[in-house]
Amino acid sequence: MSIFYAGVIVIVLGAASLILQLLIDPNRPELPDRRTAKQEKNWMVMAGIVGIMIGTLLMILSR
């Protein structure tokens, strides 16, 4: 049953990562190169999606 809760936690963290990336503006002035901000955002979005997928897999496997 603890694997199920670990999956829930991983899904919540992945969703939080996606929500935070929606709030971050890639045009923020503290980064001089706009392309690196977009690349950073893309990596974080992919990490959030992978986190949700891993959490879902953990929840399925715990049943």
Residue 35: predicted pLDDT: 63
**Contacting residues for 45 by C-beta, under 8 A, at least 6 apart:** 17, 18, 21
- E-state strands within the chain: none
pTM: 0.66
Q: What is the pLDDT of residues 14-55, one digit of tens each?
A: 888 888 877 776 666 665 665 666 666 777 788 888 888 898
DSSP state of 27: T
Per-residue confidence (pLDDT) for residue 37, from 0 to 100: 64
C-beta atoms surrounding 12 within 10 Å: 13
Domain residue ranges of the chain, discontinuous segments joined by +? 2-61
Whether residue 6 has pLDDT greater than 70: yes
